[in-house]
Every structure is written in C-alpha cells, then in structure tokens.
Amino acid sequence: MWALIRRYPLGFGLAAIIHLVLVAVMVFGLDWLHPPKPHRPKVQVVQARLVDARQQRTAHKRQKRMKRRRKAALERQRKLEAARKRKAALERKKRLEAERRRKVLERKKAEIEHRRRLALQRRAAEKKRKAELERKRRLEEKKRREAEAKRKAELERKKKLEAERRRKEAERKRKEAARKRAEAERKKREAELAAQLQGEKEAREREQVIAAIKRKVENNWIRPPSLHGQTLQAKVRVRVGADGSVLAAEVVESSGNPAFDRSATAAVYRADPLPMPSSARLVREFRDFTFIFKPINQ
C-alpha cells in the first residue's frame, strides 16, 4: 500500500481531501437541515411632533418642576412602602420557617411511629413464620420417620420372602439334581445291560457264522489223493465282498503238504458265496478274516 502511495502521491492527496471534507461535513455541516433563523434587529419607533421653540422651553421648565415634585412624593411613598414590605416579608418568612419546622417535626414523628409499627409487624410476622416453619418441620419429621419405619418393615418382609423363595428354589434344585442323577444311573445301567446283551448276541452270531463258514468250506473240500490218513491243518486268510463273494484266499501258515494247502484254497473258492452275518457291524469284521482249516473227515 505504501508503494501505491509513493507511486502516485497525488491520488493519495485527493483521497485524503475527499475524506477530510466528508468528515467535516458530518461533524459541522449537519445543520443544513435547519437553516438559521434570520434575527430581527430591535427598532424603536420614535413618535415626534413639531412644536414652537419658546413655548416648548416654558413648557419644558414647568414640566421639569412638576416632574421633580412628583418624583419626591414618589420617592417618599416608595420608601414607606419598602419598609412596610420588608417588615411583612420578614414576618412571613418567620411564620413560614416555624411552619416548616413544625411540619418537619411532625413528619419525623410520623416516620418514627410508622417505622416502629412496621418493625412490630415484621417481628410478629417473623414469629408466626418461624412457628409455622417449626410446625411444618415437625410434621415433616414425623412423616419422614413413619415413612422410614414403613420402608424398613417392607424391606424386612421382602427379605423374608426372598429368603423363603431362595430356600424353596434350592430345595427344588436339589431334588431335581437327585432325580437327574437317578435317571442317569438308570440309563447307564440299561445301556450297560443292552451292550452286554448285544455283545452276547453278536458273539453267538459270530460263532454261528464261523461254524457255518467252516461247514460250507469243508463240504466243498475235495480230498487230494496223495493224503494218507494224516491229520493236517492250515491257516487260511480270506477276503470277502459285502455279499459274501470270495475275493481272495491264501494260506498264511502252511500245513507242510502243498497239495493240502492248494485243496484248502480251492475249497474256499468253491464255497463262494460264503454265509455272512446279518448285522452290518459283524459283516465288517468278516470282510477280512483268517481261519484254521482242519477238516474232520480226513
């Protein structure tokens, strides 16, 4: 901005003049709205009459004399009047003063009286208010105490009820637990029994199936001619399909006689399909089993 002023000082001067003029107009010039009243000069109009000079002089003298006399009389009268007036004024003043004092005194008295009465009233009111307050306070206190007692009784009752409820609840829970325990016990026993029964049944079935398999294999056995009355036995491992069809048969423990071993596996193949147990669990057991092949009628 200073650069602007330096660049063109004339502009700044003009701007400053404009503002100064404006401010001056604002400060001094607002009286334009009320044009000043033209003041009228006071002119005394003289009334004159043309008169003869001599006549005028004598008349003048007479006039002067009369004037003097009148003046003296006036003076006297004025003095008397002034003395009277002074006196009257003094008296009036005194009277007024006395009156004023009396009034002030009276006003003061009334004021004091008024204040005293006010104070009394205030005190009485205060007392009444206090008594009222006290009464209220007592009432309040009593109410409060009663409420407190009631509240306590209520609390007590509630507590008792609560304790009772809890006791009952505990009892119920205990009974429930006992019942559950007994139930569980019973179930367990039953399950054990069932398992036992199942186990027995399975064992029986297994025996039956093994006997049946053995029987069928033995029935299908063709005795090799090279056997001479010896009693031979071989361990045979068999793998079976789900329907009892023989998938593979091999001798895992030889009898010592290869012809007998071969006849054993042949008998197994011939016995296809092998009898299978009815329950799926046992079938799984029998999918791959090993048995000792030992025909009785050798």
Partner 1 sequence: MNNELSFLQLVLDASPLVQVVMASLLLASLFSWTAIFERHHILNKAVREADAFEERFWSGVNLGDLYRGLDRKHEDLQGMAAVFHAGFREFVRLRDTAGMEPMAVIEGTRRAMRVAMSREMDSLEQYLSFLATVGSTSPYVGLFGTVWGIINAFHALGNVRQATLNLVAPGIAEALIATAMGLFAAIPAVVAYNRFADQVQRLEARYEDFAEEFANILQRQVHLMGEKH
Q: Which residues bind partner 1 (CB under 8 A)?
A: 1, 4-5, 7-8, 10-12, 14-16, 18-19, 22, 26-27, 30-31, 33-34
| Min separation Cβ 99 and partner 1, Å | 36
Closer of 18 and 88 to partner 1 (Cβ): 18
> Cβ of residue 4: shortest distance to partner 1, in angstroms?
6
Is residue 238 within 8 Å of residue 248, measured between CB atoms? Answer: yes
Q: Could you report how far apart the first and last alpha carbons of the chain are, in Å? A: 137
**From the CB of 118, what's the least distance to partner 1, in Å?**
24
Query: What six digits make up the tokens of 217?
Result: 């294999």
Can you read off the two tokens belonging to residue 239?
């793998």
> For residues 25 and 73, which CB has a smaller minimum distance to partner 1 in the complex?
25
Please identify, using beta-carbon distances, which residue of 27 and 296 lies nearer to partner 1.
27
Distance CA 64, CA 91 (A): 40
Choice between 13 and 256, CB closer to partner 1:
13
CB nearer to partner 1: pick between 1 and 45: 1
Encoded tokens for 221: 């056995």
In degrees rounded to 5, what are phi and psi of residue 246?
-80, 125
Q: How far is the CB of 23 from partner 1 (least distance, A)?
A: 8
In the bound complex, what is the minimum distance in angstroms from residue 30's beta carbon to partner 1? 5
Q: How far is it, in rounded angstroms, from Cα 260 to Cα 246?
A: 19
| Six-digit token string for 161 | 């009820």
Q: Which is nearer to partner 1, 30 or 296 (CB)?
A: 30
Both tokens of residue 29? Answer: 């010039």
- Closer of 16 and 66 to partner 1 (Cβ): 16
**Residue 43 CB, nearest distance to partner 1 (Å)?**
32
CB of 31 to partner 1, least distance (A): 6
Nearest Cα neighbor of 264 from 229, 288, 245, 290 is 290
